[in-house]
């Protein structure tokens, strides 16, 4: 089963998330600070991370950005801050989803399952189908297997969702897609969330 990192300095919240995830058979690593989380990320093979925004040392946005420098697994932000700019910042820095407190434990588990399933499909499907193929559009090169993008030879750092959208659009040039179609294709029919997330990534 998947191994999940939970980072929250509120013990009661971290314990609740841990119980919910362990009931689904997941292995859970809990950390109460950003530095402890980075140590865990370096030592463990993780499949997903849930990060609180407000931490005693590093804030969740900085932690998300540092994790994204080396890892592609899904990152969910868990926080009481509901301002749109906070959500946009988290998504821009590489988060895959944003869950506000108080949260429904069943919704949290559903989102975790959806992100894990999507990530598994993307990584395994890419390894089976690509064999080193490159998607080229003008001076942009997309490497689906390694999730890398280069423009005029310079690598671009892109969050997972931005990469998925770019890859999909590059594979279907000169075709107009509705927001709902993009949401269904990239996020999946079983995803729990809002379609306006497409606007943020576009």
Chain segment 106-148, per-residue pLDDT in tens: 999 999 998 898 787 766 644 434 445 888 888 888 988 777 8
Binning the chain into helix, strand and coil, the percentages to the nearest 5 are 45, 20, 35
* Burial classification of residue 142, based on how many CB atoms lie within 10 Å of its CB (0-12 exposed, 13-18 middle, 19 or more buried): buried
Q: Are 167 and 130 in contact (CB under 8 A)?
A: no
- C-alpha separations of 157 from 70, 72, 145, 154, 161 in Å: 11, 11, 15, 10, 12
Q: What is the pLDDT along the chain (202 residues), one digit of tens a residue?
A: 899 999 999 999 999 999 999 999 999 999 999 999 999 999 999 999 999 998 999 889 999 999 988 888 999 998 876 666 666 777 777 888 888 888 899 999 999 998 898 787 766 644 434 445 888 888 888 988 777 889 888 888 877 778 888 888 998 888 888 888 887 777 765 555 555 667 777 7
Single pTM value for the model = 0.69
* Burial classification of residue 193, based on how many CB atoms lie within 10 Å of its CB (0-12 exposed, 13-18 middle, 19 or more buried): middle
- Cα angle, residue 99 at apex, residues 50 and 199 outer, rounded to 5°: 110
Tokens of 127: 């390894």
106 membership: H or E segment, kind and range = helix 105-129
* CA–centroid distance for 147 within its chain: 13
């Amino acid at each position: 089963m998947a191994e999940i990192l939970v980072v929250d300095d509120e013990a009661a919240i971290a314990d609740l998330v841990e119980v919910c995830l362990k009931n689904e058979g997941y292995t859970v690593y809990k950390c109460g600070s950003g530095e402890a989380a980075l140590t865990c990320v370096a030592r463990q093979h993780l499949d997903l991370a849930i990060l609180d925004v407000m931490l005693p040392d590093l804030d969740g946005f900085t932690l998300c950005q540092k994790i994204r420098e080396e890892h592609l697994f899904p990152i969910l932000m868990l926080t009481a801050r509901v301002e749109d700019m906070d959500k946009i910042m988290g998504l821009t820095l590489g988060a895959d989803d944003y869950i506000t407190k108080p949260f429904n434990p069943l919704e949290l588990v559903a989102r975790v399952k959806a992100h894990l399933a999507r990530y598994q499909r993307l990584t395994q499907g890419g390894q089976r189908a690509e064999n080193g193929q490159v998607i080229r559009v003008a001076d942009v090169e997309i490497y689906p297997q390694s999730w890398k993008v280069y423009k005029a030879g310079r690598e671009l750092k892109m969050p997972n969702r931005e990469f998925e959208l770019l890859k999909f659009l590059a594979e279907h040039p000169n075709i107009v897609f509705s927001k709902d179609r993009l949401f269904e294709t990239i996020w999946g029919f079983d995803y729990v969330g809002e379609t306006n997330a497409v606007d943020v990534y576009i």
